[in-house]
Structure 1
Amino acid sequence: MGVTGIGGFLFRARDPEALRRWYIEYLGVGSAPHGAWETHAGPSVFAPLANDSDDFARERPWILNLRVDDLDGLCRGLGAAGIEVTTDPAWGAPDVGRFARLEDPEGNPIELWEPDPSA
């Protein structure tokens, strides 16, 4: 008996309905009732980081990491929609994958992760 996966990610928003629509439109997240969506089996990371970590902006207590299957295609689509996406080859690693970062309309950090298919 124990935890079998992440059951959800709930957070406060200035305009919850507008933010929900943004996540549905641009990332395909949470379109079912109550914000649910079916995820594909795969790894999830649970990693508390030191307060002085440089992994993401220090003024933010968390970053939402979403596993994707076509990082380049998603980044192109987001860019075409006027959403700024940052990539850095140094963020990736063999046997881990590649990453990109963006912010939602309320400034919440999001990391897109395409796992290394050979891992």
Structure 2
Amino acid sequence: MERVLGIGGYFLRAADPGALYAWYRDVLGVEVSEHGLWKQEAGPTVFATFEQASEYFPTGQQAMLNFRVRDLDAMLAQLRATGAPVEEPQDMDGVGRFAWVTDPAGNRVELWQPS
């Protein structure tokens, strides 16, 4: 059986795509080429499905982006300095620490510092 190799892209709709990209670049450090190619560090990726009524992320949001980070506390301080809405971190034994931010388009984004 042929298998996928990994996530090839993540696409977001926005009223102002340029401004939303600028937020991801300037606030989270996501740097992409002119064609949108992002060279990310190797590491684990979680693929999970949720019940339609799950409140883990807003029910009107069909998917949630999760970014791995090296230092969650430093990332949260950086986000707070920009005025981005940040939720307090939570620990999950054996998995790592998590926190959430809402992007300017209203998408809840998860930040994960693996154990």
Task: Establish whether TM, by shorter chain, passes 0.5.
Answer: yes
Alpha carbons 1:20, 1:30 under 8 Å: kept: no
Deviation larger for 25-34 or 76-85: 25-34
Matching residue of 2:18: 17
Indicate if the aligned counterparts of 1:62 and 1:109 stay in contact, CA closer than 8 A. Answer: no
Residue 62 (structure 2) aligns with: 61
Identity %: 45
2:34: which partner in 1? Answer: 33
5+ long unaligned stretches in structure 1: none
Alpha-carbon separation, structure 2, partners of 1:107 and 1:3: 30
Q: 1 or 2, which has the higher strand percentage?
A: 2
Is the Cα–Cα contact under 8 Å of residues 32 and 39 in structure 2 kept in the other structure? no
> Which amino acid is 1:100 matched to?
A
5 Å-filtered alignment, 1:1-119, equals 1-89=2-90, 92-116=91-115
TM-score (norm 2): 0.92
What value does the CA root-mean-square deviation take over the aligned residues?
1.2
Structure 1 residue 69, shift from structure 2 partner = 0.6
How far does residue 62 in structure 1 lie from its aligned partner after superposition? 1.4
Structure 1: which 4+ aligned runs deviate by more than 3 Å?
Answer: none
Decide which moves more: 75-84 or 32-41. 32-41
Summarize deviations over 1:10-67 as a string: whole Å, max 9, x none.
1211101111111100111143222222111111111111011121122211111111
- TM-score after normalising by structure 1: 0.89
Shift of 1:88: 4.0
Name the count of aligned residue pairs.
114
SS at 2:77 equivalent: helix
Please list every run of 5 or more consecutive structure 2 residues that lacks an aligned counterpart in the other structure. none
Letter in 1 for 2:111: L
Distance 2:71 2:97 in 1: 10
